[in-house]
Structures are given as structure tokens and as C-alpha cells.
Amino acid sequence: MISVAIMGHGVVGSGVAEIITTHKNKLFSSIGEEVYIKHILDLREFPDSPLADRFTKNFDDILNDVEVRVVAEVMGGINPAYDYTKKLLKAGKSVVTSNKELVAAKGAELLAIAKENNANFLFEASVGGGIPIIRPMNQCLVANNVKEVAGILNGTTNFILTKMIDEGMNFDTALKLAQDLGFAERNPEADVEGHDACRKICILASLAFGKHVYPDNVHTEGITKITLDDVKYASAYKSVIKLIGKVKILDDGKMDILVAPMLIPKKSQLANIDYEFNGIMVRGDCTGDVVFYGKGAGKLPTASAVVADIIDCCKHLKTRKYLFWADGTNDSILPYNESETAVYLRLSAESKDNAIAKAKEVFGDVTVIEPKEEIAQTVAVVTPVLKIQEIESKASALESSGINVLSKIRIGDL
């Protein structure tokens, strides 16, 4: 019998306890031993839980229990998860986590501590919920030089955008629905402002390129400024709007990395990934594009990835799985202003002809988008590919000439 502990009994934590309990025989046949949940750490009371006798409010009950070999950290947030994880790894216990905030902020350090203490620190559930992505990148695709990773990495925002696109639902109603379904973070600002997707692309970039990428160094935009008019114009441009996390390695070794809403062609592999589903494309120099697709949020999909890591740790109690990246620095990232893209602009237009003429004057050869039904007082164009700093200065010039730039969304070449 292998004793494990779970820290946190929220959406994911309760799912982990449920899967270990309901899939007891499956776990036994995979490991050859029973997995026993010895402690569950949570400050709340759960008197009606079938595991009520295992709950503790005292972290030391887990830390000091020599029988506990593997701990699932599913509390979320940096504190106290960081402190607890460090202490557990230093005590030689393996830790698995779904906590993308923790891995994105402290991954390099925690992986180094795990290595020093011959323990494992695994985090399959931190990106893509139930979709296998960390292990495939670290094992199956490891012979490739990865050139680019891009994907829809946040279920909540993808759910909101799908509801806006398919049903014309407004933003607030769609967000409330995502919260009720348990996809959204405790503070949904992390979802809608792009921070959650940023943490996930940082984890994937660190894994792909071997150096820790910190979220503070990555340009991040959310979806709060997207309107139903943008959705209509995007459709007329044979595109959909998706929140994309993307990292590309450039010839000089710098990473072009960002999170932003993008218009992506309807024929793109990522365009039909809807609702809480995530899709991640990994471009390897040997494999070409490999795409991973599945439920990126929700109790059981995410918990299944946590339990898979628990199983892996149980199978490797005496050995370390090789999963490692070094600390990183800001100079490995291309400054955002220097990245290049075409951009969709929605412009205020008392006279459409005048707005289009001004846009052409400033940007040169723009493509004018013709929506199916006329959208009053606005016009939309797509600029040529330019550096972001040029886009910004030309957009300012347009504003100075009396044309308001109402929306600015990148065109994703995916």
C-alpha cells in the first residue's frame, strides 16, 4: 500500500479523491499496490464526505508522516503552496500539482529542489487540464527541436468566446455560466485578462526551450475588449477570434512569446476548438505539427491528469523522472514591440469611404472587410504585416487624423 496526501479539497482536489476512490482497481492494476489517501488538507469542514476521517487543517500532519510518499498539491495560488511544496520536496516526498501559477513562477527552483532530494515534481495537470501535453513534450517529442508552440490554453475564455460567436451571448452572461460550471479561476480576472493562459504558455516555453520563462516578462492581453461587432467582422474575414498563447524560437535564439486574442482562419486546426476545450499545436523539426485536443478545464478532466502523475510517482518511488529546465533571464525574450504581425482594426467611420482612405494613407495596402450585414458607423481593415511598434505609431497617426481605433486584434498565422 502506498500512502498519499491531497492538499486542497476544491473542484480539482475533490476530483482527485473521487478518482482514486472510484478507480481503486485501475490504480492497483497499474501500480501493483493500493493507493491509500491518508490525509486531505483543507481549512474547511467536510463532515459528510466518505473520507471525513482523513481531513486535517495541519500541514505538519502530512510533512511529518513518513508513510506519505506522494502529495498532490491542488490548492492553487502561490502561498502557501510554494512553501509547502518546497518543504515536502526537501523531505524527499514527491509532489504533483495542477497549480500553473506555482509552476510558472517557481518551476525552475522547485525542479532543482526535487532533483537535489531525489524526488519527483510533476505537473501534467497545470496545462491543458485533462490533455496530455507535458509528458508528450518531455518524452515522446523530445528528439525534436521544437520551433513553435501555440494554443488555446484557457477553457473559460474559450467558453465565453464560443458563446459570443455561436449564440451572440454577451460577455458577462457567458462568464457567469463558465463560473457556474467550475471552469473559471477563483478570481476570473486571471482567465479573462489572459494571465492563466500566460502562465501555461510560460510552462510550455520553459519545457520546450529549457529556460524558465517568467509570466511578468510576457506580453499578455485578455478578451475583455472583444465586442460582438468584432466577432461579426472576424466571421466576414473567414476567421474566428480565439485567445492564443504562442511561443516561437527565432533564428537568433530569442523567443517571440505572447498571449493575445487573434483572428485565426476558420480552416485552422485551432478554429473549431470550442467551449472549455483546449488545443495545443507543437511544431517539431522532425514531426511537423502535432496537435493535442481535449477538455482543458473542469473537475474530472483535470483531476485525471493529477492522478496520472500520482500513479507515475508511485511507480518511480526510488527513481527520478527526468524533467528539468534551468533558470531563465529576460534577455532571451524578443521585446514585444519588435514582434511582427498583421492586425485587424475596427475604425469609427462617420464616412466609411473617408475612414478607408485614411487607413490606406497611413498603413498602405489594407484589406477592407465587408460584413454580411452593414455594421453602423464602423469599418474594419486588416493591415500588412508590420512590427508592433509601427502598428502602434500608425494607429496613433490615424487617431490624430480623426479616425478612432475601436479595436486592434492580431491576425494569427495558425
Which parts of this chain interact with ligand HSE (CB under 6 A)? 129, 154-156, 183-185, 191, 196, 296-297
Strand blocks (E) in 98-214: 121-122, 146-152
Q: Smallest distance from the beta carbon of 296 to ligand HSE, in angstroms?
A: 5
Percentage helix, strand, coil, to 5, in the chain? 40, 25, 35
- Cβ distance 128 to 102 under 8 Å? no
DSSP state of 250: -
200 is catalytic: yes
Task: Determine phi and psi for 345, rounding to 5 degrees.
Answer: -120, 130
Q: Which of 200, 242, 246, 248 is catalytic?
A: 200
Q: Smallest distance from the beta carbon of 158 to ligand HSE, in angstroms?
A: 8
What grid cell was written down for 138? 518531455
Query: Residue 29's CB: how many other CB atoms inside 10 A?
Result: 9
What grid cell was written down for 54? 482523513
What span, in angstroms and rounded, lies between the C-alpha atoms of 152 and 158? 7
Q: Smallest distance from the beta carbon of 196 to ligand HSE, in angstroms?
A: 5
Q: Smallest distance from the beta carbon of 77 to ligand HSE, in angstroms?
A: 13
Q: Smallest distance from the beta carbon of 278 to ligand HSE, in angstroms?
A: 7
Nearer to ligand HSE among residue 89 and residue 297 (C-beta): 297
What span, in angstroms and rounded, lies between the C-alpha atoms of 204 and 325? 11
- Cβ distance 63 to 88 under 8 Å? yes
What span, in angstroms and rounded, lies between the C-alpha atoms of 253 and 397? 33
Active site residue ranges = 200
